[in-house]
Structure 1
């Protein structure tokens, strides 16, 4: 059994907010091979307080007792106001809000503390080599934990990150790295063992409404949560992104921990642009040796394992199998 922490920014049940964090949490909770020991929330897709409510509400539905600790309210340096303007108001139209009319909002439950970096760092350092950190939101909490707990980079078994975008049409940067570029840079260069799951591979995932109906065809509160909260988001994605369904970015991270046949990857040098301007927050990668290296010092960037292709049919099969194996 693999022991994990999930650091996330879930928005399930919140009109206009992405639901892939909640699907990732659900897959982890449904998988006997994973022991989810701590959930921490960070401001990103949703403010950290909202994300904590979503996670607490999910656990309450299941009668599960896992600590949920709220974390960073904003990035290390990046101005949060433009991001909140974008992320919190993309559902302003009445037509889009109406997609969530029958979805129960998460209850306003209190988190189990507000020091996510402290909870994360202590659990990892108290159990060296035992804990895998699944980071599927902006990396603010993780960066703060690494600063406060110098042994954490060596103590963590691995950090698996959903973030970055290298060559996806219509994107210069993604939300997770773009929301806090300094945190992403710090974590990438921490010396920890890192696997990166960028948008280049997560945009190869897809869940349609028929897929959702099939994978949640079981009488269980966890399947009910997935079906209820993903249905409006898939409709939202179809209407606003001209896709036949929705990407399920964060679920791929958890699925890869369970079965590495679900995605292929290779080692790259990876870094992120911190300077002001149009490319601030942009991630880039290369394999060694460079064919043209003028002006580029040796070993520029951090050594990171990067996933690049996915078996989406297997991913959906894994989610379906996990939910249908739940006792009911």
Structure 2
């Protein structure tokens, strides 16, 4: 059984927010081969405190007692306001708020807990070297803070599975997770930890449709009820704005890979994240060691390669989700 931490920015039930974090959490909660020991929250897809309430709402509906710890409310350097304007208000600007009209608001939550995600992650991982996998599916601010606070973290973590980056996908210069905090992404990628990366290039090969949600709905358990209820509006939004058959499920791939590594193909690459203050900012590049032919003027790269996912079997991914969530019992 894999012991994992999920560092995330969930948005299930929040107008205009992606729901893939919630599906990743659901799979981790339902899978027999995974023990979810800690959930930490970072600002990204949603503001930090909103993501915290979403995660607590999910656990409350399941009557689950797993620690949920707040982390960073903003990036290391990148200002938060422009991202919040883009991520929180885009759905209103497009006139699609009504898609979420039938969803009840989040439950009231009176919580004043301290944001100590980095400490919680660092103590768990460094206290159990080689045993804990961190699934990082939001901006990497919390993980960067952990690396800065715990010098042994990179060598103690079993693996960090990251959803982030984009390399050769038409129309995308960067992805949200790296873009919200490129300095944090660079710190983590260059940390020397054992890293597997799921870039947009592979996660946009995934697809979840309303027919798939119908199948999940037929299982009629509290976990699938939450996922179906909160995913329908986002899926309609995705169909309307991205002209897809359903919606991509980026983040869940990072958890599913821990259950069945054969659902993806991958290769080791040197990965670099730009922190320049120009049009390359937050963009990512990858290359094979020794493969670049024109290296004059380039700084020497001393960090080790990371394992980059390249393709996914979407039907096998869906089967993993169906099998786990279908047999879930509180």
Q: TM-score, normalised by structure 1?
A: 0.97
Q: Do the aligned partners of 2:20 and 2:250 also contact (CA within 8 Å) in 1? A: yes
Separation in structure 1 between the aligned mates of residue 7 and residue 25 of structure 2, nearest angstrom: 10
Separation in structure 2 between the aligned mates of residue 189 and residue 8 of structure 1, nearest angstrom: 20
- SS of residue matched to 2:309: strand
1:133 aligned onto 2:134: yes
Q: Do the aligned partners of 1:269 and 1:300 also contact (CA within 8 Å) in 2? A: no
Q: For 1:74-223, what aligned pairs fall within 5 Å after superposition? A: 74-93=74-93, 95-109=95-109, 110=111, 113-223=114-224
Query: Aligned-pair distance for 1:148?
Result: 0.4
Spell out, residue by residue over 1:208-260, the C-alpha distance to the aligned partner (whole angstroms, 9 max, x if none): 11111113321211000010011111100000111111000001110001001
Query: Aligned-pair distance for 1:288?
Result: 2.3
Deviates more, 1:282-291 or 1:144-153: 282-291
Paired position in structure 2 for 1:22: 22
- SS of residue matched to 1:266: strand
1:305 aligned onto 2:307: yes
Q: Do the aligned partners of 1:216 and 1:324 also contact (CA within 8 Å) in 2? A: no
Spell out, residue by residue over 1:2-48, the C-alpha distance to the aligned partner (whole angstroms, 9 max, x if none): 00000000000101100000000001001111100000000000011
Q: Do the aligned partners of 1:4 and 1:34 also contact (CA within 8 Å) in 2? A: yes
Q: For 1:57-76, what aligned pairs fall within 5 Å after superposition? A: 57-76=57-76
The CA RMSD over aligned residues, in Å, is 1.4
Query: Structure 1's 300 and 282: CA in aligned 2 closer, same or farther, altered over 3 A?
Result: farther
1:325 aligned onto 2:327: yes
Deviates more, 1:72-81 or 1:284-293: 284-293
Gaps spanning 5+ residues in structure 1: where? none
- SS of residue matched to 2:133: strand
Which segments of structure 1 move beyond 6 Å, counting only runs of 4 or more? none
- SS of residue matched to 1:90: helix
Spell out, residue by residue over 1:49-95, the C-alpha distance to the aligned partner (whole angstroms, 9 max, x if none): 11000000000000000000011010001121211110010111584
Separation in structure 2 between the aligned mates of residue 323 and residue 72 of structure 1, nearest angstrom: 30
Query: Aligned-pair distance for 1:169?
Result: 1.2
1:45 aligned onto 2:45: yes
Spell out, residue by residue over 1:92-138, the C-alpha distance to the aligned partner (whole angstroms, 9 max, x if none): 15841111111123223337542111111111111111100000000
Count, aligned residues? 328
